[in-house]
Amino acid sequence: MPTTEQKLAAVHGYVDAFARGDTEAIVALFDANATVEDPIGTPIKRGHDEIRAFYQGSTATGAKLELLGEPRCAADYVAFPFAVRLEWQGQKSVIEVIDTFRLNDEGKIVEMRAYWGPENMKAG
């Protein structure tokens, strides 16, 4: 089971790498066979190649992440609320999101799920 320190390191590493637009640092947080479902209900991205392509598109928007509270750890999961700040369709926008990561014993993310929908997008 991953430690609390590993789970928190994954969250902070993710936010920091996103802020730098460092796709490779983001991908390095994930296990080679990991999945990303962002947002829930969209096609699942599997493995480093699909995850890399997804984050190349996401970071290309210039989006920045801001934690909105403390991460919550339970078993091999960590959940964390955050805001995505970006320019969307010509206007500054904010998307409020809750992500969950499931980590393996090595502290790598094996599953990422993002909970948000259109009602969570606001002018910002």
**Is 38 tagged catalytic?**
yes
Give the CA radius of gyration of the chain.
Answer: 14
Report how far residue 6's alpha carbon sits from residue 90's, in angstroms, rounded to the nearest whole number: 38
| pLDDT tens digits, 15-46 | 999 999 999 999 999 999 999 999 999 999 99
Report how far residue 105's alpha carbon sits from residue 122's, in angstroms, rounded to the nearest whole number: 37
Report how far residue 62's alpha carbon sits from residue 8's, in angstroms, rounded to the nearest whole number: 24
CATH number 3.10.450.50 given to 4-123: yes
Q: Which residues contact 40 (CB under 8 A, 6 or more apart)?
A: 113, 114, 115
- The mean pLDDT value for 105-120 works out to 97
**Is 49 tagged catalytic?**
no
Burial class (CB in 10 A: 0-12, 13-18, 19+), 101: buried
- At 124 the pLDDT is 78
- What is the DSSP track for 14-61? HHHHHHHT-HHHHHHTEEEEEEEESSTTSPPEEHHHHHHHHHHHHHHT
pTM across the whole model = 0.94
| pLDDT tens digits, 38-90 | 999 999 999 999 999 999 999 998 999 999 999 999 999 999 999 999 987 88
Which of the following is catalytic: 14, 31, 55, 99?
14
Which of the following is catalytic: 16, 31, 38, 77?
38
